[in-house]
Structure 1
Amino acid sequence: MIGYYIHHQGLGHRTRALGIARELGVPVTGFSSLGAPEGWPGEWCTLPMDVPGSPVDPTANGVLHWAPLDHAGYRERMRLLAERLGSDISVMVTDTSAEVTLLARLLGVRTVVMAMRGNRTDRTHRDAYDAASLIVAPWTAETAEEYWPREWTDKTVFTGATSRFDQLAAAYAGPAADVTGPSSRRKVLVVWGGGGTEVTEQDIDRARLVSPDWEWTVRTPAHPSPDLWADLQDADVVVTHGGNNAVAELSAAARPAVVIAQPRPFDEQHATVRALRNADVCTALDGWPEAAQWPTLLGNALARGNSGWSRWRHGDGARRAAQAIERLDDVVVTCGSH
């Protein structure tokens, strides 16, 4: 039985987990404070929330990221996890929690860490990555984090971007970026998430006003797309934040893009933007630009085209991750048979 812990911040972790779980050929149980996503292929254990109003020593004097003292929700979620880890879980995937990774390893269960961009050299991340039996990095080896020690890289499977649109992308390559036709009323699609942003509606309105040759469509959690894949394919340029899932879905659609980092712990989105820029994938910025820059930015993104996305993805990231997890599970089964 594969256990799969899914962090409740945002919905990106759950979306990626669903794609990977569907590719698994062995039973899987999800663990999260979020509800089960539609189509989850196995059991789902809903964990109590663990966010107190005034946490007591949540980092254990800097040893951990989140382990508040005297909190019933935290103690109950860890008890539920430990109960299952001590019985029928053979491999535990964490996306993402250093504490759950270390709990599984302390109970003698092999662990898979879903890696995240950014500076993960703090004590807690180092311990979790060091303890993991396998690391799954949802990026290509070509765009890997340069600071990683060799001992992490040696046990990492680089799956490339994992998108819910991978199967659609395989069936439909999408239109090539057109940089030769008339520029009048080209389409720009803004896809913005809900995980915290510095960008306001006024910022987007100002960008729209100075770009009269572009037709702007804005999709947010408050105003979601009825068909995001169709919206992506219809856009001449896509503007989005540097979240892992947003960039992965953009890469599947292979559209010219402007990707803009938003503040996140451990500079996660800034690291993504840096990797995009270093690999010359698309226009990648560390912050929302001044309004007057938008006509040039959109024109440059269109001229750059979409060919760079081939350096970001393999097209079957979820399948590659699932196969790596199954290989680790096979090791457990083989060892258990002796």
Structure 2
Amino acid sequence: MIGYYVHHHGSGHLHRARSVASAWPGEVTGLSTLPRPKGWTGDWVHLDDDAPADGHHDVTAGGHLHWAPVGHPGLSSRMARIASWLEAARPSLLVSDHSVEITLLARLHGVPVVAVVLPGDRSDPAHLLGYGVCEALVAMWPATARVRTGLPPDLLARLRCVGGLSRFAPTEPRPRRTEEAHVAVLWGRGGDGPPEHELTAARSRTPGWTWTVLGGDQWVEDPFAALLSADVVLTHGGQNAVAETAAARRPAIVLPQARPFDEQHAMGRALDDDRWPVIVCRSLPEDGWSTLLERARRLDGHRWQGWCDGHAADRFVAVLQEAGGA
């Protein structure tokens, strides 16, 4: 049996966990502040929240950790809960997606850890410490993608790039339609989406295009049907949004958002490459929407094959088995 720590911010970490758990041949216990997801077949350890930090000082332990607010009862109880589970369950391995503190806690219990690496500058002391104690590191992009991590050579040697991991099986792109075109705005629930007034202005400047917003107040559990029907997807630079756009084989306009460690901007720089059917924008344009959408519409969605081929979860499982999870 293995454990899988699921970070609670947004929905991408949970989507990854569910995909890997479905591909894993044995039992997977989830550990998270999030409630047990529908369809999860293994055990689920629900953790107390350790936020906010109001009234608690030194949340980074002098820059050596990411989140360890002094005197926070939620932090104390969640760590005690995980420690109790580690002692009782004796997992063969823990997946950390991702918390440096929980990575260290598991390793100090003698449990091997495989951690998920996100894009961006991960060269700070806390990341280097957490990744340094892991048996292996997994990244959800193809090895051919030029994604910046800031990791030194010894840690890059442990990094296994499994490709874009989507909940949905990749599909062949449908033929281009001649009737009214459709743009899907794919935004998660973990961050701010495009301002409504900017989307309204874009709609008014794009006659012949239908707009569907998926995210924020209009978030939906399963966006894939809307992605498949889109001629262009407008999305942020999160890994799951990119992977699901890639699985739908739809050309994309990617608008990276500000995130810690420059995460989405690092993804945007990697996607700004002729190999991928993407136009990367720093901000939403005030004018020229019709031209931008038509440019994106002409990109070949088949080119996403190199990013997301539908086998990322199986490769992830292979890494876990090699690391001792079997």
TM-score between both structures, scaled by the size of structure 1? 0.90
Deviation at 1:227, TM superposition (A): 5.1
* SS at structure 2 position matched to 1:143: coil
Partner Cα separation in structure 2 for residue 318 and residue 132 of structure 1: 19
* SS at structure 1 position matched to 2:9: coil
Identity between Structure 1 and Structure 2 (%)? 39
Partner Cα separation in structure 1 for residue 222 and residue 156 of structure 2: 37
In the TM superposition, structure 1's runs of 4+ consecutive aligned residues that sit over 3 Å from their partners are 224-227
Aligned residues: 323
Please give the per-residue CA displacement for 1:248-294, whole angstroms capped at 9, x wherever unaligned. Answer: 11110010111110111111111111111135313343532222131
CA RMSD, Structure 1 to Structure 2 (Å): 1.8
Q: Which amino acid aligns with 1:152?
A: L
Q: Which residue of 2 aligns with 1:35?
A: 35
Q: Which amino acid aligns with 1:174?
A: P
Q: Which residue of 1 aligns with 2:21?
A: 21
Query: Are positions 1:209 and 2:208 aligned together?
Result: no
Q: Which amino acid aligns with 1:255?
A: R
Partner Cα separation in structure 1 for residue 230 and residue 35 of structure 2: 32
Query: Are positions 1:238 and 2:233 aligned together?
Result: yes
**Bigger mean CA deviation after superposition, 152-161 or 268-277:** 152-161
* SS at structure 1 position matched to 2:269: helix
Q: Which residue of 2 aligns with 1:276?
A: 271
* Aligned counterpart for 1:155 among listed residues 152, 155, 158: 158
Please give the per-residue CA displacement for 1:23-67, whole angstroms capped at 9, x wherever unaligned. Answer: 111221110010111111210000000013333211001110000
Q: Check the 8 A contact 2:49/2:75 in 1, yes or no.
A: yes
Q: Which residue of 1 aligns with 2:173?
A: 174
Partner Cα separation in structure 2 for residue 85 and residue 278 of structure 1: 43
Q: Which residue of 2 aligns with 1:322?
A: 317
Query: Are positions 1:68 and 2:63 aligned together?
Result: no
Higher helix share: 1
Q: Which residue of 2 aligns with 1:336?
A: none
Please give the per-residue CA displacement for 1:196-240, whole angstroms capped at 9, x wherever unaligned. Answer: 226210011111111112111112242234852221111111111
Taking the TM superposition and a 5 Å limit, the aligned residue runs for 1:48-197 are 48-52=48-52, 53-87=54-88, 88-146=90-148, 147-166=150-169, 169=170, 172-176=171-175, 178=176, 182=178, 185-197=180-192
Q: Check the 8 A contact 2:168/2:244 in 1, yes or no.
A: yes
* Aligned counterpart for 2:293 among listed residues 287, 294, 298: 298
Q: Which amino acid aligns with 1:51?
A: A
Q: Which residue of 2 aligns with 1:8?
A: 8
Q: Check the 8 A contact 2:188/2:219 in 1, yes or no.
A: no
Please list every run of 5 or more consecutive structure 1 residues that lacks an aligned counterpart in the other structure. 334-338
Query: Are positions 1:265 and 2:260 aligned together?
Result: yes
Partner Cα separation in structure 2 for residue 319 and residue 37 of structure 1: 21
Partner Cα separation in structure 2 for residue 230 and residue 323 of structure 1: 30
Please give the per-residue CA displacement for 1:94-133, whole angstroms capped at 9, x wherever unaligned. Answer: 0110111111122221111011011111111111111111
* SS at structure 1 position matched to 2:61: coil
Deviation at 1:85, TM superposition (A): 2.3
Q: Check the 8 A contact 2:232/2:251 in 1, yes or no.
A: yes
Please list every run of 5 or more consecutive structure 2 residues that lacks an aligned counterpart in the other structure. none
Q: Which amino acid aligns with 2:77?
A: E
Partner Cα separation in structure 2 for residue 17 and residue 310 of structure 1: 22
Deviation at 1:144, TM superposition (A): 4.3
* SS at structure 2 position matched to 1:157: strand
